[in-house]
Amino acid sequence: MGLLRIMMPPKFQLLAVLVFGVAMLFLENQIQKLEESRGKLERAIVRHEVQEIEQHHTLDSSRDILLEESDDMVIIYNRVPKTASTSFTNIAYDLCGKNKYHVLHINTTKNNPIMSLQDQVRFVRNVTSWREMKPGFYHGHVAFLDFTKFGVKRKPIYINVIRDPIERLVSYYYFLRFGDDYRPGLRRRKQGDKKTFDECVSAGGSDCTAEKLWLQIPFFCGHYSECWNVGSRWALEQAKYNLVNKYLLVGVTEELEDFIMMLEAALPRYFRGATELYRTGKKSHLRKTSEKKPPTKESIAKLQQSDIWKMENEFYEFVLEQFQFVRAHAVREKDGELYLLAQNYFYEKIYPKMS
């Protein structure tokens, strides 16, 4: 500046000072704006980090809720006798340690499938409130019990398996006399009776009458008196209603592997690894009735003349049709093997848009 004073006239010196002053003011203003921008950027970064933390917290909370819901799940398998129920139940026992759930057998006095009213209340309270046993898999020869009428919010998931009515009766007939390979030394109620099923039918025996076919319908119909009136059309319709509205899945003994595969896909919390275990495990067909002889065409034809068989068979065909319908929309067959279908839905047109 001293040099400028010597070489420049006074008025130009004044102008230079003004220009310099304006330049300094401009620079200070720009520096201030940069500082403000830096402050806004830092605050934006902090807000973004907070939002990420909150978002992760929300996702973790959602996972916790889903985990809690999964751990609060209860399955009831009110198994019908002689439908491969022991083979299937053993899979649940084999997997419970690995998949971390509890298995409980409902052992009723003399295998009575009907519970007293007070036992119904106790059972519902146990299933819904016994947190130490959740997640839980309950199984037993018990008729369907509708939890809705007890006013509970959390209801169990029902599953079941049924069998061709005559095949089931023949198996049960020989089981009462010869037992099975599960507990071969156990003395059975009809042990010593060597009469074949065909001989029983010819002689009009009480253990092979059409009335003995009446079991799968009442098991699905439930704890109503009409359910156990042999040949009741109302019971048949109620059993169908419960099947469609109260059961997640009902399979058939003749296609048990497909039933297990679909359960593994729908309820992996319980049945992860079940299909492979069924195919390769030693207990896949654990329980086989001893000394069982297939009935003759004449014996089958005689049973099929009864209205009871027609109703039980109608229910079996209804279950089979429903099961095959569900399976057709869940799996595909390739080279003789069944494969589960991948998820075939997605979400779109989601509003309002996320900013």
Q: CA-to-CA distance for 14 and 339, rounded, in angstroms?
A: 91
CB environment 129-151: b (16+ within 10 A), e (fewer): eeeebbbbbbbbbbbbbbbeeee
Taking CA atoms, 275 is separated from 72, 80, 284, in Å, by 24, 21, 10
- CB burial of residue 162 (10 Å; 0-12, 13-18, 19+): buried
Catalytic residue among 141, 223, 285, 329: 141
3-state helix, strand, coil in the chain (%, to 5): 60, 10, 30
What letter would DSSP give residue 286?
-
Chain-centre distance for alpha carbon 284: 20
Q: Are 77 and 246 in contact (CB under 8 A)?
A: no
Up-side HSE of residue 291: CA atoms within 13 Å toward CB? 16
Q: Are 188 and 207 in contact (CB under 8 A)?
A: no
Concerning whether 329 is annotated as a catalytic residue, the answer is no
Q: CA-to-CA distance for 134 and 112, rounded, in angstroms?
A: 26
Taking CA atoms, 7 is separated from 3, 4, 233, in Å, by 6, 5, 122
Q: Are 237 and 229 in contact (CB under 8 A)?
A: no
One DSSP character per residue, 79-139 reads PPTTSSHHHHHHHHHHHHHHHT-EEEE---GGG-SPPPHHHHHHHHHHHHH-GGG-SEEEE
Q: CA-to-CA distance for 317 and 323, rounded, in angstroms?
A: 10
Sign of the Cα pseudo-torsion (263, 268, 269, 271, in order): positive
> Backbone phi, then psi, for 253, in 5-degree steps?
-55, -40
Q: What angle do CA 195, 201, 203 make, to 5 degrees?
A: 75
Catalytic residue among 48, 57, 139, 329: 139
Concerning whether 139 is annotated as a catalytic residue, the answer is yes
Catalytic residue IDs: 139, 141
